[in-house]
Structure 1
Amino acid sequence: MRHTLPLAPQFYVTAPQPCPYLDGRMERKLFTALQGDRAKVLNDALSKQGFRRSQNVLYRPSCAECSACLSARIRVADFTPSRSQRKTLRRNADLKRDATSPWATEDQFNLFRRYLDSRHADGGMADMDIFEFAAMIEETPVRSRVVEYSAPPEEGARRRQLTAVCLTDVLDDGLSMVYSFYAPNQERRSLGTHVILDHITLAREAGLPYVYLGYWVPGSRKMDYKAKFSALEIYKDNRWQPIGDPEAHSSELHPLSVDPIAEQVARISLPDSLARR
């Protein structure tokens, strides 16, 4: 079904499918195309309203009976690492960071497959082949970077070992971590945490106020780690607000509390340059 804002991009809704975060629930997404010379402006504007990018599409959860998924971002200026996060930074001091253009490589794909097979073998990406992976990395109409982290060569080897990768969008107000993956057999490094911490450093160095983490879902163990970062904000009730006590946010919601799609679309704010044809 199609929904539109007056003189603005067209919005669509996906068919319901099983939720990957909360058992027994169905998810549905509101989305719009991201293309042409307006792509960057649209990505910047909608990211501030809880949307995320996947290739040339911007989407936001719009489930019929649930609004548990909350977009999350870190206020860079107010962030203070915890004791365990400082240990993670020290533990990974030997990693080398390289930020490159969004170009897929075999090393990336091999690491991606190891990560999926270990962590998300039953997820929606489990069957992704190298061509689909390349499309995920390379099909971006906005300013994106692939941030790679490599460890020193193992004994007898010449090359550094690719250890973690993050596909990152550069927004006008922050860095958006589109998708990250890492070596699953190096638990001691806490690589997922390290990549976020390093992106906070990158954003601070670039003078950008936020690091966008994607969605935090109360009640989902997969998402618990995001609530462990200080200065975390969530997009709730159509505004960004401090997360406060994570336990205070419930994944339970009465179906009548979810606004109709048309009302959700009507509240989307767009820059003047996108509100005219």
Structure 2
Amino acid sequence: MRHTLPVAPQFYVTAPQPCPYLEGRMERKLFTALQGDNAGALNDSLSKQGFRRSQNVLYRPSCAECAACMSARIRVADFTPSRSQRRVIKRNAHLKRRATSPWATEEQYSLFRRYLDGRHADGGMADMDMFEFAAMVEETPIRSRVIEYADTNVAPKDRDGPVAACLTDILDDGLSMVYSFFAPELAKSSPGTYLILDHIDIARELGLPYVYLGYWVPGSPKMGYKAKFAGLEVYRGGHWGDLGALDDYHTALHPLSTDPIAEQVARISLPGSQPAGE
């Protein structure tokens, strides 16, 4: 199925497939290609409207009977770490950040492989080889970086590459954490939470107001941790707003909670027009 706006780009809808977040439900995505001289502006504009990037594709959940997947971002100015998050920062103080160009390395892939095998062995990315990993990192017209983290408790001569990393896009209004991964043996130190906290610091250093976290899904244990960050807001009903009370999201699971695809596409703002929800 294809729907088009009066001007490029063209938008498409994927076929339904089992939802990775909510058991017994089906997901589908609205997506468009990310290419050409206007790619950066398109990525900036659609990110503000709940889209995420995967290589040269921008996508947003558009399920027929559910609206639970909502893009989430942290307002940097309103974020203050909780007591438990301060403990996470302390436990990971030995990690040293280094921003690199978006070129895949064997050390990154080795870490990525260990992460998948240890935590997501049955996930959709479990079979990715080095070439597919390199494509994920390198094949994009967007301004991206791989943020690596080295363990300073290990002597430089004994280090075997980074122990955590995140593929990060630099948007005009924030940082988008495209994909993060870490050594499974560090799990007790909550490195995933630490990477988010450190990206909040990076955004502050760059004067950027937001850190985009991907999707928050009420009712999904996999996504519950995102609700623990102060200053979190979600894109819902065409607007960004405070997360608020979690009990207010039960209607997102109702089969009449979604609008027809054609209406969704018609409301998308393209670069040069006023972004929706702002």
What TM-score, normalized to structure 1?
0.95
Q: Tell me if 1:135 matches 2:127.
A: no
Question: Matches of 2:211 and 2:46 in 1, distance apart?
Answer: 15
TM-fit CA distance, 1:249: 1.7
Aligned residues between the structures: 274
TM-fit CA distance, 1:112: 0.8
TM-fit CA distance, 1:160: 6.1
Q: Find the residue that maps to 2:93 and give its secondary structure.
A: coil
- In structure 2, give the amino acid aligned to 1:113: R
Query: How do 1:191-202 residues align onto structure 2 when only pairs under 5 Å count?
Result: 191-202=191-202
TM-fit CA distance, 1:251: 6.8
CA contact (8 A) 2:94 2:153 kept: no
CA contact (8 A) 2:203 2:211 kept: yes
Question: Matches of 1:18 and 1:2 in 2, distance apart?
Answer: 21
TM-fit CA distance, 1:7: 1.6
- In structure 2, give the amino acid aligned to 1:49: Q
CA contact (8 A) 1:152 1:161 kept: no
Question: Matches of 1:128 and 1:187 in 2, distance apart?
Answer: 22
Match of 1:260 in 2: 260
Query: How do 1:225-244 residues align onto structure 2 when only pairs under 5 Å count?
Result: 225-244=225-244
Identical aligned residues as a percent: 74
Match of 1:59 in 2: 59
Q: Find the residue that maps to 2:247 and give its secondary structure.
A: helix
Question: Matches of 1:17 and 1:130 in 2, distance apart?
Answer: 26
- In structure 2, give the amino acid aligned to 1:268: I
TM-fit CA distance, 1:273: 7.8
Question: Matches of 1:50 and 1:179 in 2, distance apart?
Answer: 16
Match of 2:271 in 1: 271
Match of 1:113 in 2: 113
Q: Find the residue that maps to 2:222 and give its secondary structure.
A: helix
Distance 1:156 1:197, change over 3 A: closer
TM-fit CA distance, 1:248: 2.7
Match of 1:104 in 2: 104
Match of 1:245 in 2: 245
CA contact (8 A) 2:67 2:258 kept: yes
CA contact (8 A) 1:96 1:151 kept: yes
Q: Find the residue that maps to 1:186 and give its secondary structure.
A: helix
Q: Tell me if 1:221 matches 2:221.
A: yes
CA contact (8 A) 2:107 2:160 kept: no
**What CA RMSD, in Å, does the superposition of the two structures yield over aligned residues?**
1.7
Match of 1:171 in 2: 171
Q: Find the residue that maps to 2:110 and give its secondary structure.
A: helix
CA contact (8 A) 1:177 1:211 kept: yes
In structure 2, list runs of 5 or more residues that go unmatched. none
Match of 1:122 in 2: 122
CA contact (8 A) 2:2 2:12 kept: yes
In structure 1, list runs of 5 or more residues that go unmatched. none
Distance 1:254 1:91, change over 3 A: closer
CA contact (8 A) 1:217 1:251 kept: no
- In structure 2, give the amino acid aligned to 1:196: I
Question: Matches of 1:127 and 1:117 in 2, distance apart?
Answer: 10
Match of 2:14 in 1: 14
Q: Find the residue that maps to 1:37 and give its secondary structure.
A: coil
TM-fit CA distance, 1:254: 3.1
CA contact (8 A) 1:151 1:161 kept: no
- In structure 2, give the amino acid aligned to 1:54: S
Question: Matches of 1:173 and 1:252 in 2, distance apart?
Answer: 27
Q: Find the residue that maps to 2:185 and give its secondary structure.
A: coil
Deviations 1:199-244 (A, max 9, x none): 0000001000000000000111000110010000000011000001
Q: 159-168 vs 131-140, which deviates more?
A: 159-168
